[in-house]
Chain A
Amino acid sequence: MDIKALWRDIRFLKILAQVIFVLVLALAAGYLYFNVTNNLARQGLTMGYGFMKNPASFGIGESFIPYEPSNTYARALLVGLVNTLVISALGIVLTTVVGVLAGVARLSSNWLINKFAAAYVGVIRNTPLLLQLMFWYFGVIIQLPAVRQAIELPGPVFLTQRGVYMIWGEETSTFPAWRIFVLLALISIFVIWFILRSAQKRASVPLSPWWNLTYLLVPVLIIWIGFVFQPEPPLRASVPELTGLNFRGGLRLTPEFAALLFGLVVYTGAFIAEIVRAGIQAVSRGQVEAARSLGLTTGQTLRLVVFPQALRIMVPPVTSQYLNLAKNSSLAIAIGFPDLFSVAGTVFNQTGAAIEIITIMMLSYLSISLFTSILMNIYNTRIQLVER
């Protein structure tokens, strides 16, 4: 074959370019690998995950799964991962509420509310999260009054420098037996939804909206039957009470957890507020006018016309804010909350297994990101406009 013709063949050149690219990458990777083995050999270290089975022998401030210092490093890292997941999940739920409220407030015709929201968004978005977390932790929570002079909010919720104590449900002896009734009540909602939908399909006129009441009545009936059979409700309100030097009962959030959750929620909420505002404003005015001329009320216009369209615009950027929240939870180390990054840092300090630990850490965060974006993408495709 003619060599010169080959040089002018675009298909050949494309393949050649890629082969060269792969070769360069492989060379670079080989060079890095060579350096790593050299450096490790010099420090007398070897690669491998054997250390994960050794006892961690350090305490972790708080944990949602049982943990002892005698547990393995793997267990310690799992504790960190669970902490990260809990804080991210709670944060995502709460920040959505805060963000939507602030975004709507930003559009309010009420001057004071509007400026309130604008100031919140402006200050929070323009300062670093790390600084905010430190401010909430060192500047606010740690400087709250001591347990005896706790600030009491309605609830009751007590704010003290040892954390936040709040009213919480405590399981009673009948809790296991109640599960079946709660399950039945949930199932009944699905059944009603299914029956009403098929009835609507067969009917020629829209069903009376009063039928929607069955969503409420049937589950209440089931729970009421439950009270006939069970002597006690499943949960008992456990109110924190000051006994001696500390509170007893209720739920305690540690200062670190409270500051981290609060900081993340407030920070991400400001970004979501801007997305909500932009999303609502992006719905064209003609849509609102058309809805009004069809005779829809203000509430109906918002609920049936504006919000579904705004939601479509809002979901992708809000997804990336959720991801940011999960990733930003790694700043927990600055205020001493033992999340994945913080625990991994401790494990690294003890074992020196830098490459292994950073790999685990990166893979964990990547999976969290991937999982969240898959969920949100499913939701996104569900609400997207189906064009005919």
Chain B
Amino acid sequence: MAVIDAVEMKPPRLTVGPLAWLRKNLFSTWYNVVLTLLAAWLLYLFLKPAIEWATTEARWGVIEANLTLFMVGQYPRDQIGRVWLSIFILAALIGLSWGVWKNAARGFALIALGAGVAFILIALFFGWDVWVEWLIAVVSLLGFYGMGLYLPRGRLVAAIGWFVYFPFLFFLIAGNPYIATLPPVPSNLWGGLLLTLLLTIVGNFGALPLGILLALGRRSKLPVIRYFSIGFIELIRGVPLITILYMAAVLLPYFLPIDIRPDQVVRAMIGFIIFEAAYQAENVRGGLQAVDRGQYEAAHALGLNGAQTTVLIILPQALRAVVPALFNSFISLFKDTSLVAIIGLFEIVRIARSILAQSDWLGTHREVFLFAFVIYWAFNLAFTYGSRRVEEALGVGKR
């Protein structure tokens, strides 16, 4: 009986485990080996001094000392409760929306909840007393979430709430000379993240109606209106934002009657609205073009006239299709608000510059700018995540 030799076979290469992962993802071919080593070397060259600097040389105290300045600028310190109040109401609205819309609002709600809890922990860690305020915000979010689950006609309530919130926010921040508990705060004292957010909100929501009108105008069959819209949109899109802001800051007073002189913040807001309207008009136009011809014909067959067709049939579908584009323009306007630093408003970037002029903190450029980066980056990341969840829940592009 012949003995069958056991054939010496190497065991198969590992396909799981860390070593296999390394081989597959980092060292699969000779040039990948070179690239990996090169990248690792560059990373080492860059990270080593960066980490050394961040842990030893950097004076992070500049951030803690100026945190309030970063958040609200020169807003009177005894009036800061108004900013907190607007945060509490915002938290409540987010909670309520989460309760009534469930999926669509969950992304934003979870982000807000996570941020609130993180702020409580950070405040406790550093021994700041603002943890109480953040705790109130978190509790209000959760409480209104529970309420939203059982509230009858919750969607209507939440929608009205959001609609009222933004005008109310401005009323709260700006104050009123006739209300003793809300003394007016001139807008040159608004600053930091607060001003950045206010400009972003006004720029976006103020521009949307104008943008829709321009988009409709650009697709109009009346040549005069069409060419006017095209001219306006292309003019605005062809020049840098800073020239428009500059125009709003410098030139706007010339075009107004002598007794009307809006302050710098209002001028900047007008500049942003004009700028953003042109860009949103192009977004909305994309949505209008995506609506099927059959929709127009069906509406016409049902006896709707032109205006009814546009408002009831076409616009809802078009706006739904451009939700991602509108979210994107929100993010890009959030970044663009930094340009008002050039015309002299104290938003985040300008606050950073002013901190660098404090005699205690000379030469802390990197610390201060890196912190400003973190604010923008974290906010945009959170917003991107939340808006993606909204898009998923709305089924944009799927239906």
Q: Which label, helix, strand, loop or mixed, suits the secondary structure of the B interface?
A: helix
The contact sample of 9 A-B pairs, CB cut-off 8 A, is A18-B223, A39-B253, A109-B28, A127-B335, A128-B335, A130-B339, A331-B242, A341-B240, A365-B243
* Docked-complex contact B338 and A128, CB < 8 angstroms: yes
Q: List B contacts of A40 (CB < 8 A).
A: 254
* Contact of B342 with A by CB under 8 A: yes
* Docked-complex contact B254 and A35, CB < 8 angstroms: yes
Q: List A contacts of B380 (CB < 8 A).
A: 126-127
A193–B369 alpha-carbon span in the complex (Å): 53
Which of A64-72, A133-141, A157-165 has 4 or more CB atoms under 8 Å from chain B?
Answer: A133-141
Q: List A contacts of B150 (CB < 8 A).
A: none
* Docked-complex contact B339 and A126, CB < 8 angstroms: no
Q: List B contacts of A362 (CB < 8 A).
A: 235, 239, 243, 247
| Cβ contacts A4-23/B at 8 Å (1 or 0 each) | 00000000001001100110
* Docked-complex contact A358 and B250, CB < 8 angstroms: yes
* Contact of A376 with B by CB under 8 A: no
Given contacts A123-B377, A128-B349, contact A112 B223 (CB under 8 A): no
* Contact of A182 with B by CB under 8 A: no
Question: Chain B: how many interface residues by the 8 Å CB criterion?
Answer: 56
CB proximity of B30 to chain A, nearest CB, Å: 12
* Docked-complex contact A369 and B238, CB < 8 angstroms: yes
* Contact of B381 with A by CB under 8 A: yes
* Docked-complex contact A348 and B40, CB < 8 angstroms: no
CB proximity of B247 to chain A, nearest CB, Å: 5
Q: List A contacts of B240 (CB < 8 A).
A: 327-328, 330, 341, 365
* Docked-complex contact A334 and B342, CB < 8 angstroms: yes
* Docked-complex contact A35 and B36, CB < 8 angstroms: no
A147–B250 alpha-carbon span in the complex (Å): 41
* Contact of B222 with A by CB under 8 A: yes
Q: List A contacts of B338 (CB < 8 A).
A: 128, 130-131
* Docked-complex contact A341 and B243, CB < 8 angstroms: yes
Contact partner of B341 among A18, A130, A358, CB < 8 A?
A: A130
Given contacts A36-B255, A116-B39, A354-B250, contact A131 B365 (CB under 8 A): no
Contact partner of A341 among B242, B255, B336, B370, CB < 8 A?
A: B242
* Contact of A199 with B by CB under 8 A: no
* Contact of B224 with A by CB under 8 A: yes
Q: List A contacts of B222 (CB < 8 A).
A: 14, 17-18, 21
* Contact of B228 with A by CB under 8 A: yes
| Cβ contacts B1-45/A at 8 Å (1 or 0 each) | 000000000000000000000000110100010011001100100
Which A residues between 101 and 123 are near B, CB-CB below 8 angstroms? 108-113, 116, 122-123
Which B residues between 125 and 173 are near A, CB-CB below 8 angstroms? none
Q: List B contacts of A305 (CB < 8 A).
A: none
Q: List B contacts of A331 (CB < 8 A).
A: 242, 339, 342
Of chain A, the residue at the smallest CB distance from B217 is A21
* Docked-complex contact B258 and A134, CB < 8 angstroms: no
* Contact of B246 with A by CB under 8 A: yes
A361–B257 alpha-carbon span in the complex (Å): 25
* Docked-complex contact B25 and A348, CB < 8 angstroms: no
CB proximity of B313 to chain A, nearest CB, Å: 20
* Docked-complex contact A131 and B349, CB < 8 angstroms: yes
* Docked-complex contact A365 and B373, CB < 8 angstroms: no
Q: List A contacts of B174 (CB < 8 A).
A: none
Taking Cβ atoms with an 8 Å cutoff, the residues of A that contact B are 14, 17-18, 21-22, 25, 32, 35-36, 38-40, 42, 108-113, 116, 122-123, 126-131, 134-135, 138-139, 142-143, 323, 327-328, 330-331, 333-334, 341, 345, 348, 354-355, 358, 361-362, 365-366, 369-370
CB proximity of B237 to chain A, nearest CB, Å: 8
Which B residues between 345 and 399 are near A, CB-CB below 8 angstroms? 348-349, 352-353, 356, 365-366, 369-370, 372-373, 376-377, 380-381, 384
* Contact of B121 with A by CB under 8 A: no
CB proximity of B276 to chain A, nearest CB, Å: 15
CB proximity of A122 to chain B, nearest CB, Å: 8
Q: List B contacts of A365 (CB < 8 A).
A: 238-240, 243
A4–B92 alpha-carbon span in the complex (Å): 57
Q: List A contacts of B335 (CB < 8 A).
A: 126-129
A355–B356 alpha-carbon span in the complex (Å): 34
A370–B349 alpha-carbon span in the complex (Å): 31
CB proximity of A224 to chain B, nearest CB, Å: 35
A365–B246 alpha-carbon span in the complex (Å): 14
The 9 closest A-B pairs by CB, nearest first: A111-B25, A327-B240, A128-B338, A126-B380, A18-B224, A128-B335, A330-B240, A369-B238, A135-B369
A323–B240 alpha-carbon span in the complex (Å): 9
* Contact of B230 with A by CB under 8 A: no
* Docked-complex contact B224 and A21, CB < 8 angstroms: yes
* Contact of B225 with A by CB under 8 A: yes
| Cβ contacts B319-347/A at 8 Å (1 or 0 each) | 00000000000010001101101100000
CB proximity of B21 to chain A, nearest CB, Å: 8
Q: List A contacts of B224 (CB < 8 A).
A: 18, 21-22
CB proximity of B355 to chain A, nearest CB, Å: 12
A360–B341 alpha-carbon span in the complex (Å): 23
Of chain A, the residue at the smallest CB distance from B239 is A365
* Contact of B77 with A by CB under 8 A: no
* Docked-complex contact B365 and A110, CB < 8 angstroms: no
* Contact of B256 with A by CB under 8 A: yes
* Docked-complex contact B26 and A110, CB < 8 angstroms: yes
Q: List A contacts of B373 (CB < 8 A).
A: 123, 127, 131, 135
* Contact of B312 with A by CB under 8 A: no
* Contact of B67 with A by CB under 8 A: no
* Contact of B251 with A by CB under 8 A: yes
Given contacts A42-B258, A113-B39, A127-B376, contact A330 B32 (CB under 8 A): no
Of chain A, the residue at the smallest CB distance from B32 is A110
Of chain B, the residue at the smallest CB distance from A14 is B222
Given contacts A331-B242, A341-B240, A358-B247, contact A134 B353 (CB under 8 A): yes
* Docked-complex contact B228 and A139, CB < 8 angstroms: no
* Docked-complex contact B243 and A21, CB < 8 angstroms: no
What 6 additional pairs, Cβ within 8 angstroms, besides A128-B338, A135-B373, A362-B239? A110-B25, A123-B377, A126-B335, A331-B339, A331-B342, A333-B342
Q: List A contacts of B293 (CB < 8 A).
A: none
Contact partner of B254 among A108, A327, A328, A355, CB < 8 A?
A: A355
Which B residues between 84 and 106 are near A, CB-CB below 8 angstroms? none
Of chain B, the residue at the smallest CB distance from A32 is B255
A134–B351 alpha-carbon span in the complex (Å): 13
* Docked-complex contact B258 and A38, CB < 8 angstroms: yes
A143–B335 alpha-carbon span in the complex (Å): 26
* Docked-complex contact B235 and A348, CB < 8 angstroms: no
Contact partner of A127 among B25, B339, B366, B377, CB < 8 A?
A: B377
Of chain A, the residue at the smallest CB distance from B378 is A126
* Contact of B48 with A by CB under 8 A: no
Of chain B, the residue at the smallest CB distance from A19 is B224
Of chain A, the residue at the smallest CB distance from B306 is A10
A345–B369 alpha-carbon span in the complex (Å): 26
Given contacts A113-B35, A134-B369, contact A327 B239 (CB under 8 A): yes
